[in-house]
Amino acid sequence: MAFGDTKIVINSITYDNHSNNILVGVRKHSETEDSQTAEVVLNNSDKRFTDLNLRGLTAVISYDEGAGFTATPTLTVMTQDDITSNGQYQTVLTLVGIPDLLAEDKASKDFVHDATDTKTVKALLTEVLDGTAVSSALTATQTTMGSYYNLYSGGIIHVGQILFIPGRTVTSIQFYLKKVGSPNGNITFFMRPTDESWLEEKVLGDASTLTTSGVWYTATLDTARYVNDEVNIYCEYQDGTAPDDEGVGGAYVAIGYSSAAVVSDEWLVLRYATGGWNQYSDQDCGYKYGYTIAGIDCFTHTTSITATYDSEDSLINVYAPGSDFKIAEGDSRLDVVNRLLDYTACFKRAESDGALHVFVKPTSGNAYTSAKGEFYTDAVRKALVMPNRIVVKSFDFEDDGYTGAATSAASYALLPVTGAPIRTYVTGDAQAVSIAAAKITRLEVGSQVGSDLVPMTNYEQIWNYVTITNQWNGSTSTGNIAYLSRVSMGGQFQQFFSFGRQAKRGIAGIKPKREVRLEAEILDNTTLTWGMIKSLFGIIDENTDDIYEKLNLIHLILEDMGADIDVIKRDEGGTTEWVYKTVIQNQVESYILGDTVPNWNVTRQLRVPGKS
């Protein structure tokens, strides 16, 4: 093994560029947190791939950066092209990673998370990636009490509550009971809709088994019942004896209730041994009922992906989004994963073990230093975080008024911009502040800018922290890698990376961040076109106001590329300054570059960033 060695393992078979020499090269191997793609060229001169179907197989590309092979994230072969040209027989594979496959997984139906479900972001994320629905066992309660109704033969025999149960599978009923004296006879719990179309009942047991102080007693239904109705849940006891007029003696069952209304749209009901039901809107019976709700059952048709949590912020295993978390039919699994992570300050990336790793962004990592500016390309841009103040509020219908805010201090001090308020479920002001701070963290990472094309001397991954120092112009930039592209082909062994999320559009008056990418391979005899270099010159133009510095950089780049300035028409003023004004500022609109600069010949292999 040696620096620059590359291999790809497909279905346990290795193809490399140094031993069996079947791997011609990796033409492009790009990664973001939401996509991983590669284009691999294999030697097919012996027709080994002609009848061998590689589509759908998993593959791992590994590079030797000087300390042995390092495996990159697992990919899947999507297309396989056999190409014959100029006496060469090659097979070209295109591959995609786990994020790309997640983007193809679509929700089979709508899913609305129950407001009472206490699943955290971590639990929900794990469930979405696993693809197996995990039901939740929950309990609804009304536990405010201060008084007792007495149940005995000839007196009150039923006490309970009328309430609406919204689409839940009820598994148990509880009431707060105690015994007075020595009652005997069965206690039974009931549930039925107000239209009496069905009935569930369960004998709790004999009254003699009750304690003499109030305790919650549970009756588990023989068969769980799905309920989406207004129902009456109540306790029945028809035996025992009444106390005397002084409230002394007797043998009866007492059930806890509140003598004042506690829950809106619910009310206490009771019935005597003779007569009908009585309803009291100004009272509430104490009760609990256990129920289950379905898990995330809209991705059960997808392939399970392991979620690995390398590090966690303060929210991911604490914050429960409740019914704020929804999935619409047709939503991609990748979008759902991203929405869940947006509640937190955690980031994700797929790795070589086939798992999706979740972690807090790194704050240290590799450093790249150039003493003479010999980076292939190096660009730095300074940007404000926009917006730089986030406010999180609870929903108005919660009536709790929780709110919290966070700022990106440096940007807010320069130009305060507050984003639209974010409404979500929060348990208090402190949690609102935490969510706002998490969103600021994401905005700050997304605002990082800078890029470099360097030799592949370190294994980098998405969100790795790097420091770039260009001692030639005195610039230093740091950030977390958001875009990464590798090339191992035709004598090139290099990687390009850039910081910050790639913007689709910018704030008015500001150009969106460029998604800098490696263009197609430029060979020794390629004629350099305007499209190949315009973005490189554009970066220079954006990052310095000193025209002499611009001209010097342009001259050095053209000279290093082997471009012969003499081929520019001298009678048109073929100077480096003329090149700058013409090809960058477009001040000479009548010139067509292809006519003015017909032959800029590249004397060595080169890749330049392109403009998205």
Which domain CATH number covers 198?
2.60.120
402 belongs to a structural domain: yes
153 token code pair: 């033969």
Question: Which tens digit of pLDDT belongs to each residue from 388-421?
Answer: 899 999 887 777 889 999 999 988 898 899 988 9
CATH number, residue 81: 2.30.300.10
3-state DSSP call for residue 609?
strand
The mean pLDDT value for 117-132 works out to: 96
pLDDT at 94: 95
Count of structural domains within the chain:
5
Asked whether the beta carbons of 435 and 404 are under 8 A apart, the reply is yes
pLDDT higher at 368 or 333: 333
Is the pLDDT assigned to residue 91 strictly greater than 60? yes
The mean pLDDT value for 107-133 works out to: 94
Q: Residues 176, 260: one domain?
A: yes
Nearest one of 539, 394, 421, 547 to 470, comparing CA atoms: 539
Nearest one of 139, 256, 269 to 194, comparing CA atoms: 269
Instruction: Provide the pLDDT confidence category of residue 177 given band limits of 50, 70 and 90.
Output: very high
pLDDT at 521: 40
Q: Residues 322, 286: one domain?
A: no
pLDDT at 537: 60
125 belongs to a structural domain: yes
pLDDT higher at 546 or 495: 495
Q: How far is CA 175 from the centre of its chain?
A: 42
- Percent of the chain whose predicted confidence (pLDDT) is above 90: 58
Residue 282 to residue 580: CA distance in whole angstroms: 83
531 belongs to a structural domain: yes
376 belongs to a structural domain: no
Q: Give the E-state strand segments of 33-115 in sequence order.
A: 35-43, 58-64, 69-71, 75-85, 88-97, 111-112
Q: Residues 330, 263: one domain?
A: no
464 belongs to a structural domain: no
pLDDT at 532: 52
The mean pLDDT value for 332-339 works out to: 96
Question: Which tens digit of pLDDT belongs to each residue from 224-244?
Answer: 999 999 999 999 999 999 998
Is the pLDDT assigned to residue 565 strictly greater than 50? no
* Distance (Å) of CA 511 to CA 410, 460, 588: 21, 28, 23
The mean pLDDT value for 97-120 works out to: 93
Mean pLDDT check: name the lowest of 262-276, 423-437, 448-462, 586-600. 586-600
N- to C-terminal Cα separation, the chain: 37
Which structural domain, as residue segments, surrounds residue 580?
A: 521-612
Q: Residues 215, 336: one domain?
A: no
516 belongs to a structural domain: no
pLDDT at 561: 54
Q: Residues 528, 548: one domain?
A: yes
Instruction: Provide the pLDDT confidence category of residue 549 given band limits of 50, 70 and 90.
Output: low
CB-CB neighbours of 308 under 10 Å:
16
pLDDT at 505: 36
- Cβ contacts of 560 within 8 Å, gap of 6 or more: none
Burial of 201 (0-12, 13-18, 19+ CB in 10 A): middle
Q: Residues 185, 53: one domain?
A: no
CB-CB neighbours of 7 under 10 Å:
23
Q: Residues 25, 57: one domain?
A: yes
pLDDT at 401: 86
Q: Residues 147, 240: one domain?
A: yes
C-alpha dihedral (329, 333, 336, 342), degrees to nearest 10: -160
The mean pLDDT value for 86-110 works out to: 93
Nearest one of 230, 226, 224, 254 to 240, comparing CA atoms: 254
The reply to whether omega before 243 is within 30° of 0 (cis) is no
Amino acid (one-letter) located at 148:
Y
460 belongs to a structural domain: no
Instruction: Provide the pLDDT confidence category of residue 38 given band limits of 50, 70 and 90.
Output: very high
**Last residue of one domain, picked from the residues 239, 266, 293:** 293
Q: What global pTM score does this model have?
A: 0.73
Asked whether the beta carbons of 496 and 610 are under 8 A apart, the reply is no
Q: Residues 182, 282: one domain?
A: yes
Whole-number CA gyration radius for the chain: 35
* Distance (Å) of CA 527 to CA 27, 85, 86, 117, 597: 20, 21, 20, 63, 10
**Last residue of one domain, picked from the residues 293, 308, 326:** 293
* Distance (Å) of CA 126 to CA 107, 208, 240: 16, 47, 53
Residue 288 to residue 137: CA distance in whole angstroms: 13
Asked whether the beta carbons of 43 and 89 are under 8 A apart, the reply is yes
Average model confidence (pLDDT) across the chain? 83
Q: Residues 153, 249: one domain?
A: yes
Q: Please report how many Cα atoms fall inside a 13 Å half-sphere around the Cα of residue 317, on the Cβ side.
A: 8
* Helices 333-341 and 121-130: angle between axes, nearest 10 degrees: 170
56 belongs to a structural domain: yes
Instruction: Provide the pLDDT confidence category of residue 492 given band limits of 50, 70 and 90.
Output: confident
Question: Which tens digit of pLDDT belongs to each residue from 302-314?
Answer: 999 999 999 999 9
Mean pLDDT check: name the lowest of 246-250, 342-346, 505-509. 505-509
Q: Residues 11, 48: one domain?
A: yes
- Cβ contacts of 83 within 8 Å, gap of 6 or more: 89, 90, 91, 92
pLDDT at 564: 43
Q: What angle do CA 454, 455, 460 make, to 5 degrees?
A: 80
The mean pLDDT value for 156-184 works out to: 96
pLDDT at 588: 35
**Last residue of one domain, picked from the residues 293, 310, 325:** 293
Q: Which residues pair with 277 in a beta bridge?
A: 271
pLDDT at 475: 73
pLDDT higher at 434 or 1: 434
pLDDT at 323: 87
Is the pLDDT assigned to residue 111 strictly greater than 60? yes
Question: Which tens digit of pLDDT belongs to each residue from 569-606?
Answer: 334 444 444 554 544 444 333 333 333 333 333 333 33
Q: Residues 233, 95: one domain?
A: no
